[in-house]
């Protein structure tokens, strides 16, 4: 009996250590991906070629982080046979890193667009201010989502969902402005399309950060809020 308790505690401590390692790695991956976006948006504004290449080159590191964490999650399930909340924690990680990896992809896409725009040696383009603005919101959403993950706090989710609506609205506004811009000067249509894709990538980053914050609500509240409104999420979280 005593042996069993000790054994259980031992297993539980090992499990905690495993989970801790996984969570640390997720946060590291999140921090790295956040840097990738920041640098990509920076590169879009200043066309720093060295930085562009570095962002594109870094993408395999993001991918490797995802693969490693995925492996660790499978190992923990097999070794520790987690149930209930512990299993939900691992499911949350598995979902979260998929979104982080795709945020990484979007950062790379922004860098590629920056490369195209500057390779063509085109003049200073408008809309960069707007893209920086929408990107600042998306990065803020990502930071909040990572923070919510670190503290297992479901309270940020409703706000992140509202910020995502704001990002979508700003994105539509950028498109409208780009259309006007293209109509005024059809020679700039190619570049405008590249900017449009960069804006689209930022908008997708917002979607992924939103997904991430919703997983935390599921983890802590056991309630799947992936397809419900911000108000409903607020009600769920305050229960």
The set of residues, in sequence order, having a beta carbon less than 8 Å from that of 13 and lying 6+ positions away, is none
Quick one: which of 136, 183, 229, 235 contacts a copy of itself (CB under 8 A)? Answer: 183
Query: CA 117 to CA 98: how far, in whole Å?
Result: 29
Query: CA 174 to CA 166: how far, in whole Å?
Result: 12
- Asked if residue 77 binds a copy of itself (CB under 8 A), the reply is yes
State the nearest-atom distance from the C-beta of 200 to a copy of itself, in Å: 7
Contact 218, 96 (CB under 8 A): no
Q: What binding mask, one character per residue, do residues 118-157 give for a copy of itself by CB under 8 A, x or -?
A: ----------------------------------------
> What's the length of the chain?
239
Q: What binding mask, one character per residue, do residues 86-125 give for a copy of itself by CB under 8 A, x or -?
A: -xx--x--xx--x---------------------------
User: Cβ closer to a copy of itself: 119 or 136?
Assistant: 119
Q: Would you state the torsion angle of the CA atoms of residues 61, 220, 204, 104, taken in this order, to the nearest 10 degrees?
A: 0
The alpha helices in the chain, defined as continuous H runs, are: 2-46, 49-80, 84-119, 128-151, 157-184, 189-221, 230-238
* Window of 25-33, 45-53, 64-72, 107-115 that interacts with a copy of itself by CB under 8 A: 64-72
Size of the site for a copy of itself (CB under 8 A): 32
Query: CA 216 to CA 144: how far, in whole Å?
Result: 11
Contact 178, 127 (CB under 8 A): yes
* Window of 22-30, 34-42, 121-129, 180-188 that interacts with a copy of itself by CB under 8 A: 180-188
State the nearest-atom distance from the C-beta of 188 to a copy of itself, in Å: 10
Which residues of the shown chain bind a copy of itself in the complex (CB under 8 A)? 60, 63, 66-67, 70, 74, 77-78, 81, 83-84, 87-88, 91, 94-95, 98, 175, 178-179, 182-183, 186-187, 189-190, 193, 196, 200, 224, 226-227
């Amino acid at each position: 009996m005593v042996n069993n308790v000790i054994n259980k505690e031992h297993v539980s401590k090992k499990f905690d250590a495993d989970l801790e390692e996984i969570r640390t790695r997720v946060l590291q991956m999140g921090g790295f991906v956040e840097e990738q976006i920041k640098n990509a948006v920076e590169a879009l504004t200043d066309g720093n070629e060295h930085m562009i290449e570095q962002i594109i080159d870094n993408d395999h590191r993001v991918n490797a982080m995802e693969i490693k964490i995925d492996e660790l999650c499978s190992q923990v399930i097999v070794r520790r046979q987690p149930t209930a909340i512990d299993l939900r924690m691992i499911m949350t990680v598995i979902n979260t890193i998929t979104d982080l990896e795709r945020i990484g992809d979007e950062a790379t896409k922004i860098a590629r667009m920056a490369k195209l725009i500057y390779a063509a040696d085109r003049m200073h383009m408008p809309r960069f201010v707007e893209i920086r603005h929408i990107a600042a919101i998306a990065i803020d959403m990502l930071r909040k989502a990572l923070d919510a993950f670190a503290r297992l706090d479901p309270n940020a989710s409703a706000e992140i969902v509202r910020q995502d609506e704001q990002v979508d609205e700003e994105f539509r506004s950028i498109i409208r402005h780009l259309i006007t811009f293209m109509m005024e000067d059809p020679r700039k249509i190619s570049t405008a399309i590249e900017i449009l894709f960069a804006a689209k990538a930022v908008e997708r980053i917002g979607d992924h950060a939103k997904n991430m914050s919703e997983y935390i609500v599921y983890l802590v509240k056991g309630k799947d809020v992936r397809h419900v409104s911000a108000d409903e999420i607020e009600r769920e979280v305050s229960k």
